[in-house]
Amino acid sequence: MSASDDAVKPRLLLPIALALVVLKGGSLPWITVRTFSGNERVYNLADLRGGMAVIMTIALVVLVGATVGVFKRLTGMTIMSLGVAALGWMAAISGILLSLLWSLIPSINVAGLDLAKATLSQGSGVVVTVVASLSLAFMVVRQVEPFKTYAPSTHLPVLPLAVLVPLLAVIACMHSEWLSLGTDGSGVQAQVAGDSLYGSGLVVLAIWLAIGLWIGALMVNRSLMISIASGLTVVVSIIVGMYAVFLWAGGRLLDWLVPAKLEKWTAVSIEPQLYVVLVSVAVTFFVSVAGLFSRMQNVKITLGLRTPGAVRFYYSDALGSVILVVLAVSFVLRVI
């Protein structure tokens, strides 16, 4: 194997780090149920009977993939990617299915809980698992023809990076509380999360699709990809923006109009996440609109060219190392 072959091959550290992030995501909350008594219950895959066996099976596939990857890089990465894609899709399907069901038919029972008296949200584990598994999948896909010819190696388009940061903030905040309603006497408290609003299940689905398309636009460097992602993101940001504005205005209105003597909700508080959503959605909207113009689509950042003889610096190794350090720190903190 020549030195040039080694330079062309994808590096193995980042795929392994991403696979470990997906496995870590399996132990983070996938579903959050907030009852009107102010309690919050979280569920993940490990809470299910047989769930740990599923995680161990995926871990075994990742281990096999990493071992094969030492000898046959792309084959190993593909095995790892297929394994974690299974876990990623499990997270996505479970969360989306339940959110969709609840946002359309709120009167269902899940795990003995009457969801008419509670709100249901996806947990942070879904975001972590899906984003990491999609990133690994795109890393594999960009190595095969004809994607190879469309994948940038030394230049990255700026727009996907500029949209993904606020869009990930939006999806993370969609699963957290936007508004809290409470009563002084009985201690009853309702926490209204972004994804517990009517019809929000479909919106969450569209946001996930937009995130995936932007990750795709980062890998497939063509204006068509950016245009499709921009179009969907503009629509999604308008809808989420309207949700946030209406809830903010409604909360304010309720706070002003409902006097404290009424026995129903006496305390209305707008949570900071709602403001994060408003700002993020505004940024997402303006950047996505810019993405519809070809002049903005061609703005790129250069990662730097490798010169022969110089010490090689791999961005993927740097990112992989950072992810591994974060995982190690979270593990140590959990043990302590």
Partner 1 sequence: MITGLLTYIAILGLTGVWILGWMGLSVVVGSFFNLPLKTVTLVGATLGPLGFIVTITIGVLESKHAGEIAALPVGGPGDAGNELEDPFS
- Interface with partner 1 by CB under 8 A: which range of 4-12, 13-21, 142-150, 318-326? 142-150
Task: State which of positions 151-210 bind partner 1 (CB under 8 A).
Answer: 209
How many whole angstroms separate alpha carbon 217 and alpha carbon 157?
A: 8
Q: Looking at residues 259 to 318 of the shown chain, list those that interact with partner 1 (rule: CB under 8 A).
A: none
Nearer to partner 1, 224 or 318 (CB): 224
Which of the ranges 48-56, 102-110, 185-193, 240-248 carries the binding residues for partner 1, by CB under 8 A?
A: 48-56
**Main-chain phi, psi angles of 179, to 5 degrees:** -145, 140
Stretch that binds partner 1, among 46-54, 235-243, 273-281, 289-297 (CB under 8 A): 46-54
Identify the residue among 8, 70, 107, 146 touching partner 1 (CB under 8 A): 146
Written as one string, the DSSP assignment of 237-278 is HHHHHHHHHHHHHHHHHHHHHS-TTSSS--EEEE-HHHHHHH
134 binds partner 1 (CB under 8 A): yes
Q: Does 212 bind partner 1 (CB under 8 A)?
A: yes
Interface stretch with partner 1, choices 51-59, 237-245, 265-273, 282-290 (CB under 8 A): 51-59
| Three-state secondary-structure class, residue 191 | strand
Distance in Å, CB of 155 to partner 1, minimum: 18
49 is a contact residue toward partner 1 (CB under 8 A): yes
Q: Which segment (218-226, 247-255, 270-278, 300-308) binds partner 1 by CB under 8 A?
A: 218-226
Element (H, E) at 329: helix 315-335
Write out the DSSP string of 30-94: SEEEEETBS-EEEE-GGGSTTHHHHHHHHHHHHHHHHHHHHHSHHHHHHHHHHHHHHHHHHHHHH
When asked if residue 228 is in the footprint of partner 1 (CB under 8 A), the reply is yes
Q: 37 pairs with which residues across the strands?
A: 189
Contacting residue, 213, 268, 274, 276, with partner 1 by CB under 8 A: 213
147 is a site residue for partner 1 (CB under 8 A): yes
Among residues 213, 220, 216, 226, which one has the least CA distance to residue 146?
220
Three-state SS for 154? Answer: coil
Q: Residues 6 or more apart from 124 whose CB is under 8 A from it? A: 28, 29, 172, 175
The answer to whether residue 53 forms part of the interface with partner 1 (CB under 8 A) is: yes
Closest C-alpha among 159, 108, 154 to residue 294: 159
Token pair, residue 238, equals: 């308008």
SS3 state of residue 15: helix
Q: Give the separation between CA 181 and CA 254, rounded to whole angstroms.
A: 10
- Site size for partner 1, by CB under 8 A? 34
Q: Is 100 in the site for partner 1 (CB under 8 A)?
A: no
Q: Which CB atom, from 212 or from 241, has the smaller least distance to partner 1?
A: 212
**Single residue of 35, 78, 103, 288 touching partner 1 by CB under 8 A:** 78
Q: Which residues bind partner 1 (CB under 8 A)?
A: 48-51, 53-54, 57, 78, 81-82, 85-86, 89-90, 93, 134, 137-138, 140-141, 144-147, 150, 209, 212-213, 216, 220, 222, 224-225, 228
